[in-house]
Structure 1
Amino acid sequence: VKMQTLHKALIFAAVIFLCVPGSIHGFGINIASVPTLRSSSMHVSKQPIFFATPSAAQRCSSLLPLRSKDKDAENQVPEASETVSDEASAESVEASVESEEVDIDSKEFLLRKVEVLQKELDETSARVQELEADAKTLEDLKAKGILKLASATELKETYIRLAADFENYRKRAASDLVRANDMATVNVVKELLVVLDTFERAGASIKCETEKEQSINNSYQAVNKELLKVLTKLNVEAIEPLGQEFDPNMHNAIQQLESKEYKENVVCQALQRGYKIADRVVRPALVVVSSGPGPEESGEESSAASEASESSA
């Protein structure tokens, strides 16, 4: 009976070390080769035993008692060397090792198993109680309307703030886009006006004497007309200052002359045409402003007016 008990204990020890095939890096255990144990009172199985997870193997090692001594020299089992791995490896072990069947119906095995399961059950019960307490607190707040009211108010304020920010951003983006387009158009038009002025000066100064010269002039004037069409498509309008009251925003005065024809502070000559896009001035017109009639002219006008009044009287 003692020999059978001893053999059974040795078989349990061998099962613990042979439960996972090969070298178990995840557990930090290196299993040495163990000679096959045979007993007349137990059946030996050649099928390997596997554990799906490290916790299963650790639980099994905590359930089974280990004995390392054997009085029978023929049935001695060499101790397996245990080494702790420095780095945990995630590689799965695919090799298989033959081991003996375990009597999982023994009283000691079942008692250990009950202890482990009871410990896990206690931990789970404690966690469930904590969750139930949290759920009860939330239910109380919800029943009082505190949580629901606070969440609704916060969400409403957040929505209003985001909507206002988005509307401001949309308006600002649209304004920036229009401003950028206007600036790009103004820059292009300023460059084209230099070419347009050249065509206008050339057309005013050239006097064609032959048909060939006239045909060349007509070709240049055709290009000038096409350029004017392009400016029209860009909403560019010419500023016609002659006879208009001087406006410093639209006109650039370079001289002031006496004039009988135009009143004081009225543009009497246009030296260079100005251009604008909508209400934005691209280039002011270069003008000469009238200072009104001279002193002698004004005296003659006043005497003529007095004579006319006397005759009427």
Structure 2
Amino acid sequence: MTDTPEPAETPTEPGFDELEALRQQINDAEARAAAAQDAQLRAVADLENTRRRLERDAANSLKYAAEKLLGELLAVADSLELGLKAAEGADGSVKAMGEGMELTYRQLMSVLEKNGVKQLDPTGQPFNPDFHQAMSMAPSADVPANHVLAVMQKGYSLHERLLRPAMVVVARAPE
């Protein structure tokens, strides 16, 4: 009797096919597991993005909730400002009735400022169509061309959002 090693399985033997089938099943299972893990990571990322977007939308809703009311109060501020100008005497002093209006105007402006409203007075600044509404153009030697020469009605912004553009007269070069 000779001790010869048993020959290794060859592709022609029946056990080899079973081993290859098992390897293929393992590879398939690993691929499905990797795909499931990838899908789970994507779902978690999508959920996190949705949560952040909802938080941002909720914060903006709170920040701009009073936008309509504050916008309507601007007409009141304009009326008070015009009343103050009318109550001024020739010497620039305010008459007795105007003092009450001036106090009311300051209180209103204080309330608007506390709620994030800022007044835009662009006199002398370059014309910006995003914040200014040009009502007319006038020649000017004192103000550079395409700069705001005069403000007809002040503009207002709520935080960084424009509530109302300033109505302005834009300077043009003299002829």
Q: CA deviation at 1:203?
A: 0.3
2:144, 2:32 → 1: CA distance? 74
Match of 1:164 in 2: 45
Q: CA deviation at 1:222?
A: 1.4
Q: Choose the corresponding residue for 2:172, options 291, 301, 305.
A: 291
2:27, 2:169 → 1: CA distance? 78
The higher relative CO (CA closer than 8 Å, separation ≥ 6) is in: 2
1:199–1:220 CA contact under 8 A, matched in 2? yes
Structure 1 portions without partners, runs of 5+: 1-140, 295-313
Q: CA deviation at 1:175?
A: 2.9
Match of 1:281 in 2: 162
Match of 1:226 in 2: 107
**Structure 1: which 4+ aligned runs deviate by more than 6 Å?**
144-148
Alignment of 1:140-289 (within 5 A): 149=30, 152-153=33-34, 156-207=37-88, 214-289=95-170
2:37, 2:44 → 1: CA distance? 11
> What CA RMSD, in Å, does the superposition of the two structures yield over aligned residues?
2.8
2:136 match: secondary structure:
strand
Deviations 1:94-115 (A, max 9, x none): xxxxxxxxxxxxxxxxxxxxxx
Deviations 1:4-44 (A, max 9, x none): xxxxxxxxxxxxxxxxxxxxxxxxxxxxxxxxxxxxxxxxx
1:235–1:278 CA contact under 8 A, matched in 2? yes
1:145, 1:291 → 2: CA distance? 79
2:77–2:108 CA contact under 8 A, matched in 1? yes
Deviations 1:190-249 (A, max 9, x none): 11101111110000011469xxx9443222221211111111112221112111111111
Q: Which has the larger radius of gyration?
A: 1
Alignment of 1:25-174 (within 5 A): 149=30, 152-153=33-34, 156-174=37-55
Q: Which has the higher strand share?
A: 2
2:88–2:98 CA contact under 8 A, matched in 1? no
Amino acid at match of 1:280: R
Relative to structure 1, the CA distance from residue 154 to residue 263 in structure 2 (aligned partners, 3 Å threshold; closer, same or farther) is closer
Amino acid at match of 1:216: M
Amino acid at match of 1:174: E
Q: CA deviation at 1:279?
A: 3.0
1:282, 1:240 → 2: CA distance? 14
1:263–1:292 CA contact under 8 A, matched in 2? yes
Alignment of 1:13-24 (within 5 A): none
State the percentage of identical aligned residues.
30
Structure 2 portions without partners, runs of 5+: 1-21
2:147–2:170 CA contact under 8 A, matched in 1? yes
1:263–1:293 CA contact under 8 A, matched in 2? no
Q: CA deviation at 1:183?
A: 4.0
2:123, 2:38 → 1: CA distance? 60
Q: CA deviation at 1:255?
A: 0.8
Alignment of 1:292-311 (within 5 A): 292-294=173-175
1:260 match: secondary structure:
coil
